[in-house]
Amino acid sequence: MNDIHELVRQFLEHLEIEKGRSVKTIDNYGRYLNRYVAYAKISSPKDITEQGIREYRLWLNRQPGTKTGRGHDPMKRRTQNYYLIALRAFLKFLRKRGIESISPERIELAKVPERSLDLITSGELDRLLNAPDLSTPQGLRDKAILELLFSTGLRVSELCGLSQDDIDMTREEFSVRGKGEKVRVVFLSDAAKQAIKAYMKARKDMDDALFVQYGKNIKNVKGNASLRLTPRSVERLVKRYAIKAGITRKVTPHVVRHSFATDLLQNGADLRSVQALLGHANIATTQVYTHVTDKHLHDVHKRFHTKRG
């Protein structure tokens, strides 16, 4: 019996076990698919039709999205595509299982505007990296976090997942397991190595996590949970130091990752190498950086464009 709810459950298990997707990704796919099933009121994959999906897309396009002073804007096209990507992946899963439904290729994604990047200037980046107070253990930790983010381009979840044993301070590189359980090599700058050494020297706890929490109510005693820093905590500390550094725009760990990529490209790195260092599965994801880093086009314009005034 091809019950749609049971097949969705099996698909999510497939994402977790065979595909090695993160818990967050699995939760999102589950939410997207369950919303479709609830809307379409279907019980079997045979009930999925092109006409039904077209009506679903119209319905999504009319759903509220970001809240504004005037109410809610419509759901963004990019968000709508997330729902369709989940449904398409589910249909591919069904096809591999030999379960009859419509072809996943029948689902086309909506065209979306080219992604824009949140970037900070090199001066703002310098101020951010130098914002922590190095006279305190917490400041030493935060300096190490910021330098490591910029040196490696790590995602915040990858950074928080690091243990002390993952980094050999005698080497300038280490392996990290990223999205889809894919392993890549990242490299330590001299500044990152020095910051991590200073932080580790100041540590008094025995926790195996590379970056740990500090606070009055936190004790590392036997039986307690790990002191490992969470992604949300890192996001808060980056935001705090950005404010301290006088940066008015929103700064997140991912903005530092953008700075890592654009710094490489501006200094002559090729796109394929940057793709590998970032851990992007598709080079199209990396290409979002090229339009803000192509110095050559600026030089051509400056050299050859007619000067007026």
Annotated catalytic sites, by residue? 155, 179, 254, 257, 280, 289
Give pairs for 216-223: CB < 8 Å, separation 24+.
none
Could you tell me how far CA 24 lies from the centroid of its own chain?
11
Which conformational region is residue 235 in: left (phi greater than 0), alpha (psi within -120 to 50 degrees), or beta?
Answer: alpha
Residue type, 248: T
DSSP per-residue letters across 150-204? HHH---HHHHHT-BGGG--TTSSEEEEE-GGG-EEEEE--HHHHHHHHHHHHH--
Phi and psi at residue 91, to the nearest 5°:
-65, -35
SS3 100: coil
Measured distance CA(241)–CA(251) in Å, rounded: 9
At a CB cut-off of 8 Å and minimum separation 6, what does 43 contact? 3, 4
Rounded Cα–Cα distance for residues 191 and 175 (Å): 19
Query: Partners of 212 in the beta sheet?
Result: 228
